[in-house]
Structure 1
Amino acid sequence: MPVIRPRPNRTSSSRAAGFTLIEILVAVLILSFGLLGLAALNLTGLQGSQASYERSVAVMQANDLVERMWAGLCDLYDDDGDFVEAEADTIKAAWEAQQQGTLAGTGWSSPALDYQDAADSVGTVIELTIRWNERTARDGEPATIEFVHNFRLPRVDCST
């Protein structure tokens, strides 16, 4: 005669073993919010990196123009030692023409130059302002950012 084994009774503790569908959905929802937070953090970091890059480009562009002014220093002053703004504007125009291919369509505007005679009469102080549009992280609207660089070009005797 076959032996019949009685089936064990399921108690409430054996029914609670394992996960229910609701628990899994809640865990997936919490994980999704965490991943969205990480994505937002990564996006903010990328925007900060882009802003830093654009500021670095502005500094490099300003330094390039300053170096061009220094290279043409003898042309920037006439025989009387007066600063010739037209020569400085010519150097700036050549610089802009060279930069146009690099910065076309990027939101960069033409730099402004402001010439001032130095108080001690040893040269000319030039204020170089570079502006560009940058999307802000808060509202996504473009904001105009300014980089201002002041430098002095001394009067030199280039007659020799």
Structure 2
Amino acid sequence: MTKLKPVPVADIQEANEEAGVILARLMSRMAPGEHVLRLGVAVDDESLKATLPVTVEGRGDADDLVGADPVYQNNFRFLLMIALAQRFAVGVMYLRSPAPTGDPAPYMVSAWELDHCAVTSCKAARAADLLGGGESGAAFRDAFSLDDADDDGSESIYPRAAYTVL
């Protein structure tokens, strides 16, 4: 059984807020259709997984309706919070979305790597390497950044002490 490392309450609160921001940014970029967001996190050789089905109805603008079952959303956010708060957690988060009309692939996949409190968007080739045969038939695409527009767009760091000496 995995024993999580002690984390200050302030870091947990910050990680929870960051997980909510990441989910909001992901959902705001989804086109209309049925999407599946998956997260796999490893801590001390134990693997935990969460799945979040998301439905987007609309025309692809700011007025779209984004729906997700609150239970799945809370579980997903909780696991993402753990990945952000535990310095030695690693994992991958990926989004499977419907392919654009006329595309030969049934769906598109974008991925983000989680490593030492950081969430980094992956290029299509890296996403294909990370997910291997788990998403056969998919067209992999470069993931968009989950950072603020003011940031350099490379990664989301959490907590800020992630790069300090341990």
- Give the alignment's TM-score, normalised by structure 2: 0.29
More helix by share: 1
Structure showing greater Rg: 1
Structure number with greater CO (CA < 8 Å, separation at least 6) is: 2
- Give the alignment's TM-score, normalised by structure 1: 0.30
